[in-house]
Amino acid sequence: MRFEVYDADDKKDLRNLKKQEFIGAAEFALHEAIRAKDQILRLPLVDKGKSNGTIILHAEEVKEKLSSNLAHMTIECYGAVKNSPMFYRLLRSDGNSFFPVYQSEACRRRNGNIKWHKVKIPTAGLFRDDQSKPLRIELYEYFSNGNHKLLETRDFQFVSIIDGFKWESKVGVIVFKDVSVEKRASFLEYLFGGCQISLAIAIDFTASNNDPDMPNSLHSTNLQKNQYVQAIRAIGDILQEYDSDKNIPVFGFGAKVPGFKSASHCFALNGNIFAPEVHTIDGVLNTYTKNLTKLHFSGPVSYTHLRAHETDSYLVCRLLLEKKKKKKK
């Protein structure tokens, strides 16, 4: 991102920057503002190598209320009068009509009652940021031919069922219980809360990726067409900025490494399994390209050996694998 600061010499034509006096510019990446102490970033305003003051940036996350949260609820039917399976649909209103947002499984009554699975629905799709918006529940009798029979309908508001709700319908007593809203923390909230990110990469070198010299190889020696390079760069350039030391373990699997006859399910791309780290994503890609033609693509795949290198910290795993093509019938 880049900020430019001007002295307004012509206040009648502020949009024409040529008529204003340029004071200086400051450039930064978003992660610098996020990781700055108290999310306050101070940068010099520079013009032709000369500093003309300081710009102070305050970073703050802005998000819609409840937009990433989950609504939880359990719906049951006591004293069900139907022997055949029943299911329900939840619908939300857009002001003029109702649209379905959830459909339960079909269940038969047991001991006179029906207990459907607990529901988790994103609040953004259910009521946005207004818990008083109209919702609707529709009760259906299930038929295997798809011609389900609508039994009963009831409109309600989420705010009215938070503390539990009972509805004596014609098919039984419908009970809403365990109703709550689960707050889902954002990426920035995890970072501000002290979450540490340590990036590690494992690359698929199985034979189905095709030899690097082949035009359709996912590991093409033409790096502009190499899909693994593109994926590592796209993901790694972002995540490495939140890795405190930027030392990234890099593993490969599914290939025969020089000196071994069988395929390895886990090998360090830098050749040192006891210290597999390289510095920054540039180092990852340099190590990858240097070793690309030295490996003999093979198989099969096993992830058990990769998991042996996990830490005792919380793990979020993203595997970069070849996308299998569907066979034509």
Q: Which pLDDT score, from 0 to 100, does residue 258 have?
A: 87
The rounded distance, in Å, linking the Cα atoms of 274 and 276 is 6
Residues 6+ apart with CB under 8 A from 227: 218, 220
Phi and psi at residue 134, in whole multiples of 5°? -65, 135
Q: Do residues 223 and 229 make contact, with C-beta atoms less than 8 angstroms apart? A: yes
The rounded distance, in Å, linking the Cα atoms of 109 and 141 is 12
Q: Which pLDDT score, from 0 to 100, does residue 97 have?
A: 84
What number is the average pLDDT over the span 282-304?
A: 87
Asked if the model's pLDDT at residue 315 lies above 80, the reply is no
Residue found under tokens 């996990």: 310
Q: Which pLDDT score, from 0 to 100, does residue 313 have?
A: 60
Could you tell me what percent of the chain has a pLDDT over 90?
47
Q: State the average pLDDT for the chain.
A: 86
The C-alpha R_g of the chain, in whole angstroms, comes to 29
Q: Do residues 189 and 69 make contact, with C-beta atoms less than 8 angstroms apart? A: no
Q: Which pLDDT score, from 0 to 100, does residue 22 have?
A: 93
The larger pLDDT score, comparing residue 96 to residue 139, is at 139
Residue found under tokens 């919380």: 314
**Chain-centre distance of CA 159, in angstroms?**
29
Cis omega (within 30 of 0) for bond into 300: yes
The rounded distance, in Å, linking the Cα atoms of 289 and 304 is 26
Asked if the model's pLDDT at residue 66 lies above 80, the reply is no
Residue 130 — pLDDT band, cuts 50, 70, 90?
A: confident
The rounded distance, in Å, linking the Cα atoms of 97 and 33 is 44
The larger pLDDT score, comparing residue 55 to residue 262, is at 55
Q: Which pLDDT score, from 0 to 100, does residue 61 have?
A: 66
Q: Which stretches does DSSP call E strand in the chain? A: 2-7, 21-27, 40-47, 50-58, 70-78, 86-93, 98-103, 114-115, 119-122, 134-141, 149-157, 165-169, 172-182, 201-204, 247-253, 255-256, 267-268, 277-279, 296-297
Asked if the model's pLDDT at residue 316 lies above 60, the reply is no
Q: Which pLDDT score, from 0 to 100, does residue 280 have?
A: 95
Residue 2 — pLDDT band, cuts 50, 70, 90?
A: very high
Buried residues in 175-192 as b, exposed as e (16+ CB within 10 A): bbeebebeeeeeeeeebe
Q: Which pLDDT score, from 0 to 100, does residue 317 have?
A: 53
Q: Which pLDDT score, from 0 to 100, does residue 48 have?
A: 92
Largest Cα–Cα separation, the chain: 83
Q: Which pLDDT score, from 0 to 100, does residue 79 have?
A: 93
What number is the average pLDDT over the span 207-218?
A: 89
Tens-digit pLDDT profile for residues 271-283: 998 999 999 999 9
pTM: 0.55
Asked if the model's pLDDT at residue 44 lies above 90, the reply is yes
Asked if the model's pLDDT at residue 311 lies above 80, the reply is no
